[in-house]
Amino acid sequence: MGKIVNKFKSKVIALMDQMVKSYNKRQMSKDLEKKITRNFKDLKTLRKLTKAQKKEVDDFYISMIGQTVPLYCHEYFYSRTGVFSKDYVPKDFYTMEILQKANVYQMRNAYDDKNIYDIILAGENVVHTILKNMNGYYYYEGRAVSEDEAIQLCQNMDNVILKPAMDKHGNGVKLLSVANGKTNIDGKTIGEVFKQYKHNFLIQERVKQHKDIAALNPTSVNTMRILTYRSDMEVLVIYSVIRIGRSGQVIDNQCAGGISTTITKEGKLGKAAFGGYSEDNVLKTDTGIALEGYQLPSYDKAIEFVKRLHFKLPYFNIVGWDVSIEESGEPILIEFNTHPGLSQSAFCSGMGENTERIIRELWPRRNTMFEGYE
């Protein structure tokens, strides 16, 4: 009798756990949808989908996953760009389904720690880290040091980058200079700055970017966001966009005020850039450079670089790579993202020509966020 009761309890617990997960998934999907739909009010032009366009999208997704998807992203990005594409991907579907099937959710936080880039990508051209704070422990040029020693070693620094190790969207990134222990951050001492950042942060050398990249905006390190997808022994480039900072800004991130535009397979920029959720059709950089047709240096090298790097991240089949080009013309990795978003406004598509292939390959797989990883 006891075994029967215990078995029944286990089934009830499993059922309740599944119900909670399903509820959480629905709520998260609604929240992600709201992030897009609340920005409809800022659109300069609202373009409604025609019946034929709705049918094209419905047929496309039914053929791949056996069901329709919400159309809010198709309408939003069609309104922003003026380009209709059945390949737009709803934010909730991409975030809650595609990414969680492509990547092992349980490994995400560990690999997103910028302090371990030089460890897992040893031997690759990754931006140099001078100081690390990992879980409260300090490391200077790879050597474990005390907090007092770290403070002494950082008494004088010129134009280095200070950033949190596990944050995104450019949050907390500062251009740091230190003279005799006093920083350019609100006049605080370097010790006070360390206290402000608490733990899990790093100080890196500032990349000296190629003159043709710097010309787009000299105050920020302007990066290519290259999104790649690994399918067995093949790495596909889903898309490439360049993110350009605004005048006087240190970071190029679109969420922090930067702009982005697509990059062609030949390494040339698209006609117009997009910023935030409502700044559309920017034709020139703040330095006056017309975007359309502008040739980026060493683009082919950057593509081969990230394809090689992707094989070093076996738990993630979709990765976003932030790459710049050094003065020497060599690509250098600034960051990678194991939970990357889609630049659908700049790219005018979800995952471009690979959308159908990627969804068909990933749809049968386990959703590691809600179904666990085995």
Cα separation, 338 vs 35, whole angstroms: 20
Digit-coded pLDDT (tens) for 50-94: 999 999 999 999 999 999 999 999 999 999 889 999 999 999 999
**What pTM value is reported for the model?**
0.89
Pairing state between β 174-179 and 137-140: unpaired
Residue 52: its pLDDT value, please?
A: 98
Residue 15: which pLDDT band, with cuts at 50, 70 and 90?
very low
CA nearest 42: which of 314, 275, 324? 275
Burial class (CB in 10 A: 0-12, 13-18, 19+), 135: exposed
**Amino acid making up residue 278:** S
Helix and strand tally (H, E) in the chain? 14, 14
Residue 11 has pLDDT above 60, yes or no: no
Digit-coded pLDDT (tens) for 130-153: 999 999 999 999 999 999 999 999
Place of tokens 């490439």: 240
How many percent of the chain have pLDDT more than 70?
90
- Please tell me which residue, 1 or 157, carries the higher pLDDT value: 157
Residue 18: which pLDDT band, with cuts at 50, 70 and 90?
low
Cα separation, 157 vs 143, whole angstroms: 18
